[in-house]
Amino acid sequence: MVHSLSITVGISGAQINGRDERAIQAGVDYLAALGGGTLKILPGEYHLNNAIYLRSQIQIEGSGADTVLIKNPSVQTSLAVDSDWYDDHVTLTNSDGFEIGYGVCLRAKTPQSDGSNVIKRTIIGRDGNRVWLDRPLEKNFWADHEAHISTLFPILTGEHIHDVEIRDLILDGNRLNNERLDGNYAGCIFLQNCERIQIENVEARNYNGDGISWQVCHDVTVTDCRSLNNVDLGLHPGSGSQRPIMRNNHLEGNRLGLFFCWGVKHGIAENNRILNNREFGISIGHRDTDNIIRSNLIEGSRKIGIYFREEPNEGRCPHRNLVENNRIVNSGSDGKGTGIGIRGETRSIRIQRNQIIETRGPAEYVGVRIGEKTSDVVLEANEFSGLAVDVDDLRSR
């Protein structure tokens, strides 16, 4: 039998001791140098000034609710002078709170368009108000384009890694004391260009952005997790991600519960509790095809329970998706709302054996609203209760 290496990190009494990201990162890097293994994080609160950078073939295992990783409050300042794409340092207006080893995010308006430049780096040197970064900027950050730097970062992150497991711990984004950074760059967990990731029994909460976000990642499995009270998205299977499995999770108090981003295909969202999210329970759109949304409880969405987003043309719409055996309760607010809304030129959607329920009185609540440009939308054996209109088919008007 092959036994993989296992080491412990803790506040005290572990093989590696410490109260912040440095101890945890040391354990990850040690295991990675030896081909992988399990890092066991012992009970305690760990306060982070930088992300934990994951490596391939590493298993992160906490001690359940007794292991809490908390992001420290962010600080921000503007850049005092211009920095160009080839520079590896920036000059700050005020460097207080920017220490060596801290994770930072630089943002500025792009000189040539209305967009933004956004990068994440680590401070590796400092002399007065000048700080050096672990990598060149690769983009322009000019003072007259609102260039600024903040101590913002994901709690756990990885790029171009594979075969990673994360389980049994709590991640707290400390949202009241941190600026917002959206899920294309961060979250309690943020992954980019990764494969075969398993996330189990993790609570991702209070991030001023997303709970768990993965971009261009394949075969990500998220099970028995809780994504709670994040400013943006609870779960964010991101652009181009193939075959995500999201099962038995609790998503509550986010702006959106579960957001299928661009080109998410062959995914399964099953047996999740998606409660009291501020806009949509589930949102699916741009080229998100061949997914299954099954046996979820979606309750208290302030706008729409399951929303098929409108796209500018048929080629970008979310085709060939199955919505089956979900219980969708009390969608909308102020007397208006929809259980399932399908917009744009979306086609080949099957909606079957769902329960769509309104308990607050019918008002203007609608069970299923089918947009006028949709086609091949099949409704079968659904149950409706307490609604003003069970099915509003705009194609027939």
Sequence ranges of the domains in the chain: 76-150, 154-396
pLDDT at 304: 98
The residue whose two tokens read 């970062």 is: 153
Which pTM value belongs to this model?
0.96
Q: Are 175 and 206 in contact (CB under 8 A)?
A: yes
Per-residue pLDDT in tens (0 to 9) along the chain, 397 residues: 455 799 999 999 999 999 999 999 999 999 999 999 999 999 999 999 999 999 999 999 999 999 999 999 999 999 999 999 999 999 999 999 999 999 999 999 987 777 899 999 999 999 999 999 999 999 999 999 999 999 999 999 999 999 999 999 999 999 999 999 999 999 999 999 999 999 999 999 999 999 999 999 999 999 999 999 999 999 999 999 999 999 999 999 999 999 999 999 999 999 999 999 999 999 999 999 999 999 999 999 999 999 999 999 999 999 999 999 999 999 999 999 999 999 999 999 999 999 999 999 889 999 999 999 999 999 999 999 999 999 999 987 6
Q: Which DSSP helix (H) or strand (E) runs through 33?
A: helix 21-33
Q: Please name which of 209, 190, 252 lies closest in space to residue 227, comparing C-alpha atoms.
A: 252
Task: For residue 129, give both structure tokens.
Answer: 């108000």
DSSP 109-159: E-TTSS-EEEEEEEEEEEETTEEEESS---S-B-GGGT-EEE----SEEEE
**Per-residue burial over 374-388, b = 16 or more CB atoms within 10 Å of its CB, e = otherwise:** beebebeebebebbe
Q: Please name which of 92, 192, 231 lies closest in space to residue 150, comparing C-alpha atoms.
A: 92
Task: For residue 54, give both structure tokens.
Answer: 């994951």
Q: Please name which of 309, 311, 312, 318 lies closest in space to residue 350, comparing C-alpha atoms.
A: 318
Give CA–CA dist 129/379, Å, rounded. 63
Residue count (the chain) = 397
Beta bridge partners of 236: 213
Q: Please name which of 38, 14, 39, 5 lies closest in space to residue 24, comparing C-alpha atoms.
A: 39
Task: For residue 122, give both structure tokens.
Answer: 């680590």
Q: In a 10 Å sphere around its CB, with 0-12 CB exposed, 13-18 middle and 19+ buried, how is residue 310 labelled?
A: middle
pLDDT at 1: 43
Q: Reduce the DSSP state of residue 30 to 3 states and report it.
A: helix
Give CA–CA dist 268/272, Å, rounded. 11
Q: Are 227 and 204 in contact (CB under 8 A)?
A: yes
Amino acid at the residue 188: C
Q: Please name which of 257, 251, 246 lies closest in space to residue 291, comparing C-alpha atoms.
A: 246
DSSP 201-218: EEEEE--SS-SEEEES-E
Q: In a 10 Å sphere around its CB, with 0-12 CB exposed, 13-18 middle and 19+ buried, how is residue 184 labelled?
A: middle
Q: For domain 76-150, which architecture applies?
A: Beta Barrel (2.40)
The residue whose two tokens read 């706008």 is: 303
Give CA–CA dist 154/191, Å, rounded. 9
Q: Are 392 and 363 in contact (CB under 8 A)?
A: no
Q: For domain 154-396, which architecture applies?
A: 3 Solenoid (2.160)
DSSP character for 175? Answer: G
